[in-house]
Amino acid sequence: MWSNLFSVFIPILLMFCGMGVTVAIAYIWKRKQDLKQRQSPLTQDLMRPPGYSLRLKVNEQSDEVTILFIFMLITPLLLYSLHLSQSYFGQIPESLPRTIIMLVIGLGTITLLGRRLSKVLNERKNNSLGFQGEMFTGEELNQLMLYGCRVFHDIQIDYGNIDHVVVSPSGVFSINTKMRSKAKEGKGKAEVIVDHQNNVLRFSDRSEKIDVDQLETEGRWLSKYLTSSVGMQIPVRPVLALPGWFVKQNNRRGSFSVINPKNSKWFFMNDQVELTSKEILQVAHQLGQLCRDVEPVFRDKK
């Protein structure tokens, strides 16, 4: 009995020993870094860059992909070593049923890991595409600061996050970026028609419902927060950004606007003046409090 248990636990013990050595090395390295009398020179948290939340998700998914790959590689080796260990230490004779059971367990485990890996890879691909879309939109919106606007990114709210916020003399805008892939070929492949009457985006090869509730919820939340913080009514206009698309409107605009963020100064800097320079600074200060929460690396937590 004990020999059978011993033969089962030897491969598992060896695997955990390897993992333990890795964890120990990481812990020792961390302790050495903590003991060094040096740290980051930055004394305050950083502002969130465009797509920061998505970048964190992509990093987490990349870590999971690595772990799944490792487990898919070691599963056959672990089962093979378990099989040999049972034969050598447990004196279990070789047999076809025993070999088949090991193969079934191995194939089943790898199949489950493979399905999970495929799902995570697809999610990472979509999040990477979305991250690049938010990066592009953020880079374009940042150009507005040359004209006196203030731009903020990845603001965390009760319902998720607002991708971008622009504060200009023409008002405050909450921007939600949607990165949508294009067909490689076909007429009008780079064009999207905005049907405000039905709240639908009509691409050349498909149609997609606009999540108006999300746009309006983000705008209402931000308006309520800024109004309470600044002490004056601050309306917020929801905007849907579609980077890389030629946007056409087929009828009157509704409660939100749809734009391509490239060269969008005309949209955010119109002749209508709603905020003075002082009010822009007040609003920007409150938004800065929301965005400045990225802790510097290699610095003791406060």
List, for residues 232-263, the tens digit of each pLDDT value: 999 999 999 999 999 987 666 678 999 999 98
Using CB atoms within 10 Å of the CB of residue 290, give its burial: 0 to 12 exposed, 13 to 18 middle, 19+ buried.
buried
Q: Which two tokens stand for residue 254?
A: 């509704």
Q: How confident is the model at residue 165 (pLDDT cuts 50, 70, 90)?
A: very high
> Does residue 88 belong to any structural domain of this protein?
no
Residue 161 has pLDDT above 60, yes or no: yes
**How many domains are contained in the chain?**
1
> Does residue 258 belong to any structural domain of this protein?
yes
pLDDT of residue 182: 81
Domain residue limits at 182: 143-294
Asked whether the CA dihedral 134, 51, 264, 217 is positive or negative, the reply is: positive
Average pLDDT, the chain: 86
Q: What percent of the chain has pLDDT over 70?
A: 88
Residue 145 has pLDDT above 80, yes or no: yes
> Does residue 224 belong to any structural domain of this protein?
yes
> Does residue 231 belong to any structural domain of this protein?
yes
Among 1-15, 24-38, 102-116, the range scoring the smallest mean pLDDT is 1-15
pLDDT of residue 79: 81
> Does residue 222 belong to any structural domain of this protein?
yes
HSE-CB at 176 with a 13 A cutoff on CA atoms is 21
* Residues 134, 51: Cα–Cα separation, whole Å: 5
Question: What pTM did the predictor assign?
Answer: 0.82
* Residues 191, 203: Cα–Cα separation, whole Å: 7
HSE-CB at 14 with a 13 A cutoff on CA atoms is 12
Q: Which two tokens stand for residue 81?
A: 């070593």
Residue 302 has pLDDT above 70, yes or no: no
Q: What is the pLDDT of residues 194-205, one digit of tens each?
A: 988 889 999 888
* Residues 16, 12: Cα–Cα separation, whole Å: 6
Is the distance from CB of 247 to CB of 260 less than 8 angstroms?
yes
Residue 89 has pLDDT above 70, yes or no: no
* Residues 67, 84: Cα–Cα separation, whole Å: 25
Residue 137 has pLDDT above 80, yes or no: yes
In this structure, what CATH number is given to the domain that contains residue 242?
3.40.1350
> Does residue 135 belong to any structural domain of this protein?
no
> Does residue 150 belong to any structural domain of this protein?
yes
Q: How confident is the model at residue 297 (pLDDT cuts 50, 70, 90)?
A: confident
* Residues 258, 173: Cα–Cα separation, whole Å: 12
Residue 4 has pLDDT above 60, yes or no: no
* Residues 228, 283: Cα–Cα separation, whole Å: 11
